[in-house]
Amino acid sequence: MAARLEEACASAGARGGCVQSGDPALDQFMEAYCEMLIKYEQELSKSLTEATLFFATVQRHFQAFTFCFSDSSAHTTTTNRDRSQKKDRTLGFEKETEEVA
């Protein structure tokens, strides 16, 4: 819809403005209608831009949260793995000493 309006405005601009129909009331109405459509398009664009910025901000927050969470879980996993390996070494050492005795 917006592309069609822009195309119509461009073609009207190329012809030197709006075409006069011979009826001043119709010409006035069409001018007012064109201005209203332009303002409407600007308001829709403004809302869409604000929504896009909002969702981009939310996405950055989620990415930061996910990044922090993955870092802390990786640290926790590494810590748990280290503890598990230490425990296995300790148990392995105890098993070896039991076999020797």
Work out the average pLDDT over 57-80. Answer: 74
Averaged pLDDT of the chain: 75
Percentage of the chain lying above the pLDDT 70 cut: 53
pLDDT digits 0-9 by tens, 55-64: 999 999 999 8
Q: What is the pLDDT of residue 18?
A: 55
Number of domains composing the chain = 1
Q: What is the pLDDT of residue 3?
A: 73
Distance CA 86, CA 80 (A): 10
In a domain, 30, yes or no: yes
In a domain, 7, yes or no: no
Half-sphere exposure of residue 51, counting CA atoms within 13 Å on the CB side?
Answer: 6
In a domain, 86, yes or no: yes
Q: Which two tokens stand for residue 63?
A: 């990415």
Work out the average pLDDT over 45-59. Answer: 94
Q: What is the pLDDT of residue 4?
A: 72
Query: 4-13 burial string, b = 16+ CB within 10 Å, else e?
Result: eeeeeeeeee
In a domain, 1, yes or no: no
In a domain, 9, yes or no: no
Contacts of 2 (CB under 8 A, 6+ apart): 41
pLDDT(5) > 90: no
In a domain, 56, yes or no: yes
